[in-house]
Amino acid sequence: MGEPLRLAVLVSGKGSNLVAIVGAAERGDLQATVVVVISDRPEAGAIPWAQSKGICTEILPPQGLDRPAYAERLQQLLDRHRPDLIVLAGFMRILDAGFTERWSGRVLNIHPSLLPALTGLHTHRRALEAGLDHHGCTVHFVTGELDGGPPVIQASLAVQPGEDEASLSARVQALEHRIFPEAIGWFAEGRLEMKAGSAWLDGQRLESPVMREES
């Protein structure tokens, strides 16, 4: 068995997906190790949690930096920690196009909708307002197009009658915690890659993302 995949996890909030990823690695379900957690927000709850696990943390606030300058500072941090893959786990900043091109095929994001539906923010509220009968989440490679990179895996659930935003968010988040470590695991095993603008799994181009249903 080779060396574990080196992960840099970028966060802006409490880091529930970070917790799921680290948990999968600790159980042996994911051959990866988080070498650094980077946040744009000093108050992010993920930071003290990561520190409690002995994981190196970095704070990179955006104040006074435009997008290219922020990307350059971020790159300097990443150079220090040498990750194989960048994982965006609730990171609320848009990355510079030059940065995403430099890291092409080595950045995965989790988005709380069934892309291409509901790109951007407040997806659970918008799903309810639109009266959607199904909702979910998507892991995708990151490109210069916001929430537009090739999708890898999705998880779907049925929206319940009378469901509110908080309930729907919690149910979708549980799905995120299942499929994000799964996708990272495929990458760690050399099964997943991005080439020619598409996601490829086990040597086959994914015409549509792998689908998981709520269990």
111: annotated active-site residue: yes
Considering 81, 111, 122, 140, which one is annotated as catalytic? 111
Mean pLDDT of the 37-41 span: 98
Give the number of other Cβ atoms within 10 Å of residue 201's Cβ. Answer: 17
Instruction: Say if pTM beats, i.e. exceeds, 0.85.
Output: yes
pLDDT at 61: 97
* Structural domain boundaries in the chain: 5-213
Amino acid at 56: C
Separation between Cα atoms, residue 201 and residue 25, nearest integer Å: 21
CATH code of 5-213, in short, is 3.40.50.170
Residue 1 has pLDDT above 80, yes or no: no
CB 58 within 8 A of CB 35: no
Separation between Cα atoms, residue 60 and residue 80, nearest integer Å: 14
Residue pLDDT, tens place only, 141-170: 999 999 999 999 999 999 999 999 999 999
Angle, CA 17 vertex, CA 15 and CA 19 arms, to 5°: 75
Confidence label for 2 from pLDDT (cuts 50, 70 and 90): confident
Q: Helix H segments across 15-164?
A: 16-27, 46-52, 67-81, 97-102, 123-129
Closest by CA to 112, choosing from 88, 136, 148, 133, is: 136
Separation between Cα atoms, residue 80 and residue 46, nearest integer Å: 20
Angle, CA 167 vertex, CA 44 and CA 90 arms, to 5°: 30
Closest by CA to 139, choosing from 150, 131, 127, is: 150
Mean pLDDT of the 70-80 span: 97
